[in-house]
Amino acid sequence: MKRVEIPSRFFFSTPPAPCPYLPGKLEKKVVTLLAGKDPDHLHNTLSLAGFRRSQDLAYRPACENCNACIPIRVATRRFELKKHWRRIWNKNEDLVATEITSIATEEHYVLFAKYLKSRHNEGGMSDMDYNDYKAMVEDSPVKSRLTEFRNSIGVLVAVCLTDQMDDGMSLVYSFYEPDEARRSLGSYLILWHIVRTKSEGQYYVYLGYWIEASPKMSYKSRFAPCEILTKDGWIEIKL
């Protein structure tokens, strides 16, 4: 197993807070600032060790008596658009994807707010105003970008904030039109990034944390073949 060497730096622990995914649990995080001469290298190194990015911070769960949050990534070179995935892909063949600079817009925020109200009305992000959204999108010291998805008449239906990694892509946050349930946009956005990463000859799409006991987070293992981070390194998950 290749050892991940994390550069010397300060790590901080957050105070306990209610877990947004598992009722009755408290979450704590280890956090560090993505700063220095080469934040992209630091970001890549920390990602291999299971960290995620939020603005200019990298974090990883460090909860007492709980290890339910498991880093997960899709092995894109071996991924195939099987029948059930192809059905979702075909439902969205009219969408046009455009990669743009990570700059917040009012149009994006309107869709973002509508998505949160529909899907995560009681979550910690539900009260985010435009300035909060702008910070989420623009306060990045690493290589990141937005991808817009519009239908055939130019209506915005989805947006994805993505970080460029040395070995693929990391999905930071996605939101989409909740009234377009027939499209299965959540799955489609992941599929689009898998196909894009594979076409570029890269290896992985990082999906954040897989929580088997959480309906909101357990879906990620469906995008097989995928790997999870264990004490023995990244290994393919067998379900």
pLDDT tens figures, 139-184: 999 999 999 999 999 999 999 999 999 999 999 999 999 999 999 9
Residue-level pLDDT at 120: 62
Cis peptide preceding 225, ω within 30 of 0: yes
- Per-residue pLDDT band at 35 (split at 50, 70, 90): confident
For the chain, first and last CA: distance in Å? 23
Q: Diameter of the chain by CA atoms?
A: 51
Which of the four pLDDT bands, split at 50, 70 and 90, describes residue 67?
A: very high
User: What pLDDT, on a 0 to 100 scale, did the predictor assign at position 124?
Assistant: 57
* 227 C-beta neighbours (distance < 10 Å), count: 18
Q: How far apart are CA 106 and CA 126, in angstroms?
A: 17
- How far is it, in rounded angstroms, from Cα 193 to Cα 187? 10
Rounded average pLDDT over 207-216: 92
Which amino acid does the sequence have at 228? I
According to DSSP, residue 74 is labeled E
Q: Which two tokens stand for residue 10?
A: 């300060």
Averaged pLDDT for residues 232-237: 93
> Could you tell me the pLDDT band of residue 55, with boundaries at 50, 70 and 90?
very high
Higher pLDDT, 215 or 182: 182
Q: Once rounded to an integer, what is the mean pLDDT over residues 105-130? A: 84
Please report, for the chain, how many H helices and E strands are present, in that order: 5, 14
pLDDT of residue 127: 77
Q: What is the mean pLDDT of the chain?
A: 92
Residue 2: which pLDDT band, with cuts at 50, 70 and 90? Answer: very low
Q: Give the confidence band of 65 by pLDDT, cuts at 50, 70, 90.
A: confident
Given this model, what pLDDT does residue 1 score? 42
Q: What integer pLDDT is reported at residue 8 of this predicted model?
A: 52
Residue with tokens 């956090």: 31
pLDDT above 90 for 48: yes
Residue 4 has pLDDT above 80, yes or no: no
Residue 122: pLDDT above 80? no
The Cα-based distances of 109 to 102, 106, 150, 191 in angstroms read: 13, 5, 15, 23
**pLDDT at position 36, please?**
85
Residue type for position 199 = S
